[in-house]
Chains A and B, each alone.
Chain A
Amino acid sequence: MHDKSIRELADSLRAGEFSSEELTRHFLDRIERHDGGLNSFITVCAEEALEAARVADQRLRAGEGGALTGIPMAHKDIFCTAGVRTSCGSRMLDNFVAPYDATVTERLKAAGAVMLGKTNMDEFAMGSSNETSYYGPVRNPWNTHTVPGGSSGGSAVAVAARLAPFATGTDTGGSIRQPASLCGITGLKPTYGRVSRWGMIAFASSLDQGGPMTRTAEDAALVLQAMAGFDPRDSTCVDREVPDYHSALENDISGLTIGLPKEFFAEGMDEGVARVVEAAIGEYRRLGAEVKEISLPNSGLSVPAYYVVAPAECSSNLSRFDGVRFGHRCEEPKDLEDLYKRSRGEGFGAEVKRRIMIGTYALSAGYYDAYYLKAQQIRRLISDDFRRAFQEVDVIMGPTSPGVAFRLGEKSDDPVSMYLSDIYTIAVNLAGLPGISIPAGFSDGLPVGLQIIGDYFQEGRLLNVAHRFQQATDWHRQAPEGYA
């Protein structure tokens, strides 16, 4: 059961081959059996899941519901879930039982999806290896000595190890696409504003975007269909019709123009990754696509600009965690300042503290123009590069990540080297564009992802382009040994 796609599971549920309750038990058993060694879940909600599955079974028996009704799934522990702890991977929120559902939670619940639990993540989504979590690192099922990527590492591992048919993730600088790449799954970061951020704990509000993490592009289309759409509670959510993603999957891609940014294929690129990405582009040529070299001249400045914009916004967003209204509070504060400082000092881990301090510094008196304003100007240049490119090409392709999964601990003492893990993904967030990572092959036995970037609101096109590749290849069907 666990190797089937959402589409196949939905068909089986309707045909009565098994019930949602049986399916849910099957995945709960797998989590019980396998997750001890992987640590992809922070919280498992067995009772609630079985109850939701029984409700879904009633709907299915009555001939109601849609593609996700009765399908088990997991939420990244950044999405608020009413009555269930929402920790954001932090000691700060270890005791935080969300009083309401995020819009994404609400929408997937309404679609009949069955939440198995909440997945592990880098603390407050700050990290590229899932090692900053208060609940311990997550291990990559392809090699448990390596990281799964981050920050949505738990979600990527839950899907890759077949512990859940799909999961939600969030992507501020690559946090859906990079772990998808390192774990050999499909991960889509939608256009900024496509999916509501309401109830999704904020890291950098002008960059954060939720999206689906699945094994296939077809599944991602089904999940995005349920997640996307206007929400008046998120003032940056775009009021624009959601197209039918599934019906566009089969569109012909002959004549598609693919842009290859020369900056993404520069000297020094990892050989194994280069080989896989070039082979994937060869496959697209065989499918009738045309390839054109393009230039994104300012993309090299995306990591520096991001490490101003994201920390600045995070220092402001995370000021709400003060030990007063919810979350961690220190013991016996001697005065209000002591209460703030110790609650935050104890509640946040080192990486979160670093980013809050960088952001505080960048926004402090006298430094605003040199850092924040400059970064927002560079953001404009990066966005203009993409605008020009999309006048010539339909999609842009390249590697998702500069390398395959690295070893646990390898980069944890060197923040800058960790930050460079997102060198190919960050520009997409700064511009607000959609991007997807799909499995494209292996290097040293570890998965390599191909990143496909589209113009604003072209999620349907990205899913179509990804789906055609997945019909011609079977990289997305590979399962890590021991989890098939």
Chain B
Amino acid sequence: MSLDASEVKKIAHLARLAIDEADVPRYASNLSDILSLVEQMNRVDTHGVVPMAHPLDMNQRLRPDEVSETVERDRYQAIAPAVENGLYLVPKVIE
């Protein structure tokens, strides 16, 4: 599998990553190398093998539905880039 420049740009867009135009060929070549490595997986037939999502095959643990956390908005917003009146500020989304 080899990726071309337009595919790299599409993936970067999906991942919301700005990458320099000048770096695109290098990413295309690196990512293609990685995908070739990954495709060695096709050497083995995995038909009927149950995929392993958790090393110990554990199920999600349940807990009693009780209040356990308190609101600490001010403390957490102290490290935010831009806040006002308890709200996070971002560029205008709706014109």
**Bind each other:** yes
A97 engages B79 (CB within 8 Å): yes
Interface centre among A193, A339, A342, A360, by most B CB within 10 Å?
A360
- The distance in angstroms between the C-alpha atoms of A374 and B44, with both chains bound, is 10
Chain A residues within an 8 Å CB radius of B78: 99
With contacts A298-B44, A301-B41, A303-B37 known, is A383 near B55, CB below 8 A? yes
Report the minimum CB–CB distance from B21 to chain A (whole Å). 12
Q: Which residues from A are CB-within-8-Å of B23? A: 350
**What are 9 inter-chain pairs, A to B, with CB distance below 8 A?**
A99-B72, A301-B44, A346-B18, A354-B31, A371-B38, A374-B41, A383-B52, A416-B36, A432-B55
Asked whether any CB of chain B lies closer than 8 Å to the CB of A307, the reply is: yes
CA distance A419 to B3 in the complex (A): 19
Which of A's residues lie within 8 Å of B, judged by CB?
95-97, 99, 192-193, 206, 232, 235-236, 238-239, 298, 300-301, 303-305, 307-308, 315, 319, 322-327, 329, 333-342, 344-346, 348, 350, 353-354, 356-358, 360-362, 364, 371, 373-381, 383, 414-416, 419, 430-433, 456
Contact (A339, B90) CB under 8 Å given A323-B81, A344-B18, A354-B31: yes
In this complex, what residue of B is CB-closest to A355?
B34
Task: Please report whether the interface of chain A is mostly helix, strand, loop or mixed according to DSSP.
Answer: helix
- Most central of B27, B76, B91 by chain A CB within 10 Å: B91
Asked whether A341 lies within 8 Å of B18 as measured between CB atoms, the reply is yes
Q: Contact at B35–A358, with CB atoms within 8 Å?
A: yes
Q: Does B17 lie within 8 Å of A358, measured CB to CB?
A: no
B82 — nearest CB in chain A belongs to which residue?
Answer: A329
- Tell me whether A432 and B19 are in contact (CB under 8 A): no
A377 to B49, Cβ gap below 8 A?
Answer: yes
Whether A333 contacts B56 by the Cβ 8 Å rule is no
The 8 closest A-B pairs by CB, nearest first: A432-B55, A345-B18, A376-B51, A329-B81, A377-B46, A380-B52, A341-B18, A377-B49
Given contacts A358-B35, A430-B55, 8 further A-B contacts (CB under 8 A): A99-B72, A193-B58, A307-B37, A325-B76, A334-B91, A338-B91, A344-B15, A433-B55
| Nearest-Cβ distance from residue B24 to partner chain A, whole angstroms | 11
| Cα–Cα distance between A25 and B60 once the two chains are bound (Å) | 45
What 1/0 flags go to B32-62 for Cβ under 8 Å of A?
0111111111111010011111111010110
CB–CB B11/A342 < 8 A: no
Which A residue's beta carbon lies closest to that of B50?
Answer: A380
Q: Is the CB of B14 within 8 A of A381?
A: no
- Flag if A357 contacts B31 (CB, 8 Å): yes
B27 and A354: CB pair below 8 A?
A: yes
**Set B15, B75, B80: member contacting A325, Cβ < 8 A:** B80
CB pair B82–A354 under 8 Å, yes or no, is: no
A209: nearest residue on chain B (CB-CB)?
A: B55
Q: Find out whether the CB atom of A304 lies under 8 angstroms from the CB atom of B33.
A: no
Given contacts A338-B91, A345-B19, contact A380 B34 (CB under 8 A): no
Minimum CB–CB distance for B26 against chain A, Å: 8
User: What's the Cα separation between A414 and B46 when bound, in Å?
Assistant: 30
In the complex, what's the smallest C-beta–C-beta distance from A345 to chain B, in angstroms?
3
Report the Cα distance A341→B35, complex, angstroms.
24
In the complex, which residues of chain B have a beta carbon less than 8 angstroms from the beta carbon of A324? Answer: 80-81, 88, 90
Distance from B95 Cβ to chain A, minimum over Cβ atoms (Å) = 10
If A344-B18, A415-B33 touch, does A378 touch B80 (CB 8 Å cutoff)?
no
Give CA–CA (A337, B44) in the complex, Å.
Answer: 41
CB-nearest residue of chain B to A362:
B38
CB distance from B67 to the nearest CB of A (A): 14
The answer to whether A304 and B37 touch across the interface, beta carbons within 8 angstroms, is: yes
Cβ distance A363 to chain B, nearest Cβ, rounded Å: 9
B-chain residues with CB within 8 Å of residue A456 when the two chains form the complex:
56
| Contact call B31/A361, Cβ cutoff below 8 A | yes
Please determine whether B27 and A301 come into contact, CB atoms closer than 8 angstroms. no
Q: Are the CB atoms of B76 and A99 closer together than 8 Å?
A: yes
Whether B30 is near chain A, meaning CB under 8 Å from some CB there, is yes
Whether A378 contacts B79 in the complex (CB less than 8 A), given A342-B18, A346-B18, A354-B31, comes out as no
Q: Which B residues touch A433, using CB under 8 A?
A: 55
Chain B: which residue is nearest A323 at the CB level? Answer: B81
In the bound assembly, the distance between CA atoms of A325 and B83 in angstroms comes to: 9
Please determine whether B38 and A356 come into contact, CB atoms closer than 8 angstroms: no
What residues of A have a CB within 8 angstroms of the CB of B75 in the complex?
Answer: 99
